[in-house]
Amino acid sequence: MYILLTRHRSPMMSWGVRSSGVDRDTLRFVSKSGYCGCVCAALGMSARNPQVGNITLQSLITMPMGVRVLSPGVVYPEFQTAANWNSVDGKQKQKSLLLHKYYLHDADFLVGVESDDLDLLNILLEAFRDPVWPVFLGRKCCIPSLPLAVGVYTGTLIDVLSRNDLLKPYDDLVFGEDKKIPFNIKKYRSNIHLILETNEDNSQIIQDVPLSWDRRFGYRRIKKVVNNVKDSVDVLV
């Protein structure tokens, strides 16, 4: 199998799956719907342009996805007010409405998707390197602080995501020239924290699979895995 890796790091990001009304939540890791949104922006894919080459939304959601937590971040709310908003009956309200938007601050993730189609992953990799539209991490205020594209590799999702040597080229940018890793992040280098898709019955179910362009979402099962460090796999790109 081939694995496409991308790095998702930012001072702020948001991966909402249950957002409605005045409360806009966020997961503590990159959601599949959010990742697909990043890919679509990079490709220039939208409801008006639902296919780029042979790539469709269905092509993206069928690829198994894994997330490695490099820094878990902290969730903080942001408060906004909306004035002159419309109610469900279509009437305009003059009273201000307080919105609660939650963001994941100072988080860092390595995301991998798996496919046996090497050409497809190479197209996605080049799209992340030279996106058609700007790529944001959940919301437009969430700008990546590192290059998204990492590379395409051979192996399994667990083995490729568990490699620490893939992180070293970024360490100067993240931790400075002395590469002094903060204490609260060190444990995520020695013990690999992964969120993986699974078919196990006792696993967690989340609704973050985008089924169409009209905001219909399906379910998937995920599990959390902690592994030891891996440092050997072949790089293709």
* pLDDT per residue of the chain (237 residues) written in tens, 0 to 9: 999 999 999 999 999 887 766 788 899 999 999 999 999 999 999 999 999 999 999 999 999 999 999 999 999 988 877 777 666 676 666 677 788 889 999 999 999 999 999 999 999 999 999 999 999 999 999 999 999 999 999 999 999 999 988 888 888 778 776 667 777 777 787 788 999 999 998 899 999 999 999 889 999 999 999 876 655 444 444
DSSP 4-45: EEEEEEEEEE---SS-BTTEE---SS--HHHHHHHHHHHHT-
Residue 54 is assigned to a structural domain of this protein: yes
Count of other CB atoms within 10 angstroms of residue 94: 7
Question: Which residues, 6+ apart, have CB-to-CB distance to 151 below 8 Å?
Answer: 4, 5, 125, 166, 235, 236, 237
User: Helix, strand or coil for residue 114?
Assistant: strand
Residue 6 is assigned to a structural domain of this protein: yes
Q: By the 8 A CB rule, do 157 and 66 touch?
A: yes
What CATH number is given to the structural domain containing 46?
A: 3.30.70.2660
* This prediction's pTM: 0.88
Residue 85 is assigned to a structural domain of this protein: no
* Total number of domains constituting the chain: 1
Q: Which domain range does residue 143 map to?
A: 2-20+28-80+105-227
